[in-house]
């Protein structure tokens, strides 16, 4: 099995166009699966692996390894299915042992966003008098201002920046090598310019990365480092630990962008400055509108539209234009 793992990895990157980081994660799962086969004295020969062997591994994940979440088990099963699909493709096996194995059902989580007060405190947390603080505020405002995923932020290079008309446009390399272009307005553009000025003094032009470590060795920032930056400044801002998430900045981008557009002009009622769901879907790099609607559902505009308006409650609590006297309505008719 191990001799096919390298060929599978090359196939996924070169022919399927998968990101090396994703392939590396799946490769770790496959090595874990092979270790399970070895520990349970099962054959590691692809020709002898059967469906019940994979079923045993999935049951082991659930019962023996701390009741792993459905999302984790689904990801591990996807890696195994990918490998055996490759083995069928190159003709090593004829029948796919993964055929018919159900994927654990994944319940979509309710998206969360930051409040205006939390964002205000978060953007004030970094110390702008230090290079590290300038970098951190640029990171936070770029994620929020452009709705970037964390790996998209870490992958930004100088070639991805288009500086024009006082604003910055970013070429973002999203999932599945799907590129998109997003615009940073003047406020986040100013924060990014301030960091780039400091970044230039580090003499790391050959590195090409926009966001790097400010201490030696000055290397490209990786996802764990950006997560630590978020945790650090969230604590300074007084945001509870359970509400700290880089993805919440991305979700807040979607809801604030949707709320920024008015459905109709307040004077004439004509549709005006409306931000469409499909536009937000494009800017976030989604391929399914249902994914985008998870974020839109928590926007202030949608929340107001999906709640019974106050005027309706006034109608229900009035008779002939006069409000009910609740004390008279609920006053018992007969003494007890």
Same fold, 2-89 and 116-243: no
Adjacent-strand bridge partners of 170: 161, 182
Q: Report the alpha-carbon distance of residue 18 to residue 12 in Å, rounded.
A: 6
Q: Sorting pLDDT into bands at 50, 70 and 90, what band is 318? A: confident
pLDDT tops 50 at residue 237: yes
pLDDT tops 50 at residue 336: no
Determine the topology of domain 116-243 in CATH: hpI Integrase; Chain A (1.10.443)
Contact partners, residue 141, CB within 8 Å, separation at least 6: 123, 187, 188, 191, 192
pLDDT tops 60 at residue 321: no
Domain boundary assignment for the chain: 2-89, 116-243, 252-305
Highest mean pLDDT among 188-197, 201-210, 281-290, 317-326: 188-197
Q: What is the pTM of this model?
A: 0.75
Do residues 259 and 301 make contact, with C-beta atoms less than 8 angstroms apart? yes
Place of tokens 């509108």: 289
Residue range 35-88, pLDDT digits in tens: 999 888 888 888 889 999 999 999 999 888 776 888 899 999 999 999 999 999
The CATH architecture to which 2-89 belongs is Orthogonal Bundle (1.10)
């Amino acid at each position: 099995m191990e001799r096919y793992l390298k060929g599978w990895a090359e196939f996924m990157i070169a022919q399927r166009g998968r990101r090396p980081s994703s392939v590396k994660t799946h490769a770790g799962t496959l090595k874990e699966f092979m270790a399970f086969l070895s520990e349970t004295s099962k054959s590691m020969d692809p020709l002898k692996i059967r469906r019940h062997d994979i079923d045993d591994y999935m049951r082991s994940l659930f019962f023996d390894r701390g009741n792993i979440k459905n999302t984790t088990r689904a990801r591990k099963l996807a890696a195994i299915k990918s490998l055996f699909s490759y083995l069928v493709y190159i003709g090593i096996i004829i029948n796919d042992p993964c055929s018919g194995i159900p994927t654990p059902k994944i319940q979509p989580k309710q998206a969360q966003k930051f409040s205006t007060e939390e964002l205000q405190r978060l953007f004030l947390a970094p110390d702008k008098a230090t290079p590290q603080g300038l970098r951190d505020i640029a990171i936070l405002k770029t994620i929020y201002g452009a709705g970037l995923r964390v790996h998209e932020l870490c992958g930004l290079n100088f070639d991805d920046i288009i500086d024009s008309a006082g604003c910055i446009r970013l070429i973002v390399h999203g999932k599945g090598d799907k590129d998109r272009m997003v615009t940073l307005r003047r406020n986040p553009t100013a924060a990014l310019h301030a960091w780039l000025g400091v970044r230039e003094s580090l003499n790391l032009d050959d590195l090409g990365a926009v966001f790097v470590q400010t201490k030696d060795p000055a290397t490209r920032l990786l996802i764990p480092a950006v997560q630590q930056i978020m945790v650090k400044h969230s604590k300074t801002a007084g945001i509870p630990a359970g509400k700290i998430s880089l993805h919440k900045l991305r979700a807040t981008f979607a809801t604030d962008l949707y709320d920024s557009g008015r459905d109709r002009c307040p004077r004439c009622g004509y549709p005006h400055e409306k931000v469409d769901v499909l536009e937000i879907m494009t800017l976030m790099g989604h391929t399914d509108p249902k994914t985008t609607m998870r974020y839109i559902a928590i926007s202030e505009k949608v929340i107001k539209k999906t709640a019974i308006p106050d005027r309706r409650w006034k109608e229900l609590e009035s008779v002939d234009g006069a409000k009910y006297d609740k004390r008279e309505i609920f006053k018992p008719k007969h003494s007890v």
